[in-house]
Every structure is written in C-alpha cells, then in structure tokens.
C-alpha cells in the first residue's frame, strides 16, 4: 500500500508542477502584455541579454536559443520573426558559417527588456515563493 501512496504522491506533485507552470505563464503574459510581450518573447530577450553579459555580445545561434527557452525550432522561428517585425531582434548570417543564422538583440529590444524585466521578476518571485504555501 505504501508504494501505491508514493506513486500517487509523485503524480500529485507532477500535476501541481504543471498547474504552477500554467498559472505562472498566464500571470507573466498578463504582466508583460502592456510592453507588447508574452512570456516566451521575454524569455528570448532575457536569454540574449544574458549572452551579452556572458560573452560581450547579445547574439546567439537559433539552436542555442531553442535549447535555452525550451521551444521547438519551428515555434522559435515564428517567435523570432515576430520579434524581428517589432524591431526587438534582427537575424544575421554567421560570419564563420554562412548557413548559420544568429539572432541579435537590437537597442530597442534591449530597452524593452529593461522595462519589462522588473515586472517579470516580480511575477516569478510571487508565483514561485514557496514560503507562502
């Protein structure tokens, strides 16, 4: 009987995690909407901003971004196209591999990220604070 309860607990924890993820995404989308961003849009800008801090350039290959934001290549391509239309990023050819495409954060994208970052972090803090449970 103990193994059965353990399995039930495991499934329960998994479902709680999924529910928390869904609620957090919804909260992020609502908070970021006034800035013209969704949660995934912000995540791409955030990853590019982190790349700038780590590497000195806000530019990554599409594959690198996909592995960090956990989107499929096709979903990320559509998202990058939308961000590019908004002037937040631009796609550039890789200098070392002409077949490769890199995504580069623009000054507008950097500014939009800086405006939205405090809201995103506040939502994460509120939603993921386990002391209030």
Radius of gyration of the chain (CA): 18
CB 112 within 8 A of CB 35: yes
Smallest CA-to-CA distance from 62 within 46, 74, 50 is with: 74
- pTM score, whole prediction: 0.85
pLDDT 10s digit of each residue in the chain, 133 long?
A: 555 668 889 999 999 999 999 999 999 999 999 999 999 999 999 999 998 888 777 788 888 899 899 888 889 999 999 999 999 999 988 666 666 788 999 999 999 999 999 999 999 999 998 655 5
Q: Other C-beta atoms within 10 Å of 114: how many? A: 11
């Amino acid at each position: 009987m103990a193994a059965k309860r353990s399995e039930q607990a495991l499934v329960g924890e998994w479902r709680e995690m999924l529910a928390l993820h869904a609620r957090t995404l919804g909260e992020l989308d609502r908070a970021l909407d006034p800035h013209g961003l969704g949660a995934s849009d912000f995540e791409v800008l955030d990853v590019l901003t982190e790349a700038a801090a780590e590497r000195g350039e806000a530019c990554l290959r599409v594959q690198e971004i996909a592995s960090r934001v956990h989107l499929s290549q096709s979903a990320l391509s559509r998202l990058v196209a939308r961000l590019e239309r908004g002037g937040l990023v631009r796609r550039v050819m890789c200098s070392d591999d002409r077949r490769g495409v890199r995504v580069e954060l623009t000054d507008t994208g950097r500014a939009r990220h800086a405006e939205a970052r405090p809201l995103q972090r506040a939502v994460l803090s509120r939603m993921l604070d386990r002391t209030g449970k």
